[in-house]
Chains A and B, each alone.
Chain A
């Protein structure tokens, strides 16, 4: 998605190495995706749904 849009940045965060972030974003399972600090997507979801939720976060 970051490749498809100049407005998107995408980071993979190794949860075990950043306990402070895990606490801050209340990560209780992986994968957990946080969009713009607020929208949360839990688990691995199909591409279309994932894109829809991510784009919806700024809509």
Chain B
């Protein structure tokens, strides 16, 4: 999957296996990158009729912020039939854009793509695990 180019991934979105919602969390003041992030989300959504976008306000939509555990804006929650726990903070550019598209494909396929061994280890987990991966576009 790492060998895929952005163009390949965009093409893959056209054949999405199931509907995916992108929940976009924005903030009216003090968010320089929210407009750019929303533009990326809209561009991705334009590539597939099965991707829909819902926008929430970090300050005003407290229920959604709490339900999805959102901490900052801009944020994107990738939601399939149910919430998956996958979040992107910041403008998805470069590698992060590819990661977001891959996340959408995984959510639609309902398959983590992990090895049997990894799945078995994760199946034993009964406590909350919060993973934050700090990344840069290049």
Contact = CB atoms under 8 A, between A and B. Distances in A.
Interface of A: 1-18, 21-22, 25, 27, 30-37, 47-48, 51-52, 54-55, 57-58
Contacts of B85: 2, 6, 8-10
A12 B33 contact: no
Chain A contact residues: helix, strand, loop or mixed? mixed
Contact of B133 (A12, A37, A58): A12
A25 B118 contact: no
Given A11-B131, A17-B91, A5 B115 contact: no
Max chain A Cβ within 10 angstroms of own Cβ: one of B84, B88, B129, B136: B129
How many chain B residues sit at the interface, stated as a range, is 35 or more
Contacts, number: 151
Contacts of A2: 84-86, 131
Contacts of A6: 85
A34 B131 CA distance: 6
Smallest CB-CB A-B distances: 8 pairs: A14-B90, A9-B85, A2-B85, A11-B87, A3-B112, A4-B112, A17-B90, A5-B122
Contacts of B69: 9
Max chain B Cβ within 10 angstroms of own Cβ: one of A1, A4, A11, A52: A11
Contacts of A58: 125, 127-129
Given A3-B107, A3-B112, A18-B72, A8 B90 contact: no
